[in-house]
Amino acid sequence: GENVEQHPSTLSVQEGDSAVIKCTYSDSASNYFPWYKQELGKGPQLIIDIRSNVGEKKDQRIAVTLNKTAKHFSLHITETQPEDSAVYFCAASLEGSARQLTFGSGTQLTVLP
Amino acid sequence: DVKVTQSSRYLVKRTGEKVFLECVQDMDHENMFWYRQDPGLGLRLIYFSYDVKMKEKGDIPEGYSVSREKKERFSLILESASTNQTSMYLCASTTAGGNTGELFFGEGSRLTVL
């Protein structure tokens, strides 16, 4: 089955700096890569996703890049703000197969004022 | 606004007790999930249901069972709770098929087994 590794497990950045979280996956058949953000006391929420037919996707301050050859994908947050502090999870699956979604171990991002 | 509601946010139970965790969604989603969240292990799938009365085992089903008698409700059952089931439990739902694959999560139920 799919195996997703996520690094780092914790990340602290100064407000305004950029943050990068990296994930690798094992199953070359995976073609859907979402990122979820979990704020304290809440459930995870989808913030951005990418499919294997594109290499990069942006949504305001967040972007995700995908390297299918190397089987890794990354989340980039620019101009970080205190409200970006949360746990971030990457995941991988075959598109449309939520049953097979495999999550990474999570990254606790702390944005320091 | 879409909503997945988990009835109990915090529970404390004793070893051997039977535990019910309830989840209700108001989005008419076909698919519902129970995940377990532990530090350093991410989210691991316990059980999945794709229709009323239909279920599939996830990656860590041992010690758990589920019930889906109505489309909007999915229950997780611990027949005899053990201390290693102390964890955060997350319910999620999503529509069948489609391209988004977005999971909608509840706020979680933190279970402590003494």
Output the pLDDT for position A96: 67
Which of A34, A36, A96 is closest, CB to CB, to B98?
Answer: A96
- Residue A84 has φ and ψ, to the nearest 5°, of -80, -15
Residue B10 C-alpha from the chain's centroid: 14
**Dihedral angle sign, alpha carbons of residues A109, A14, A71, A35:** positive
Nearest of A105, A110, A87 to residue A25 by alpha carbon: A105
Tell me how crowded residue A105 is: count the other CB atoms within 10 A of its CB: 18
- Nearest chain B CA: its distance from A8 CA (Å): 11
What pLDDT, on the 0 to 100 scale, is given for residue A97? 74
**Average pLDDT estimate for A57-83:** 96
How far B92 CA lies from chain A's nearest CA (Å)?
9
- Mean per-residue pLDDT of chain B: 93
Residue A108 contacts B, CB cutoff 8 Å: no
How many CB pairs (< 8 A) connect A and B? 63
Q: Is any Cβ of chain A less than 8 angstroms from the Cβ of B4?
A: yes
Distances (CA, A) of A90 to A66, A93, A99: 12, 11, 15
DSSP class per residue in A38-76 = E-TTS--EEEEEEETT-SEEEETTEEEEEETTTTEEEEE
| Residue with the larger pLDDT of the pair A94 and A60 | A60
Alpha carbons A18 and B41: distance in angstroms, whole number = 25
pLDDT score recorded for residue A52: 82
pLDDT > 60? residue B49: yes
Q: Is the pLDDT of residue A95 over 80?
A: no
Tokens of B41: 């292990």
Q: Compare CB distances from A44 to B100, B101, B105 and report the shortest one's residue.
A: B105
Q: Alpha carbon B13 to chain centroid distance?
A: 17
Residues near A70 by beta carbon (within 8 Å), at least 6 away in sequence: A24
Whether the CA torsion A93, A98, A99, A102 is positive or negative: it is positive
- Is residue B79 within 8 Å of B18, Cβ to Cβ? yes
- Enumerate the residues of chain B whose CB falls inside 8 A of the CB of residue A43: 4, 90, 92, 105-108
* Min Cα separation A78/chain B (Å): 24
pLDDT 10s digits, B61-99: 999 999 999 999 999 999 999 999 999 999 999 986 655
The per-type count for chain A, helices as H runs and strands as E runs, is 0, 11
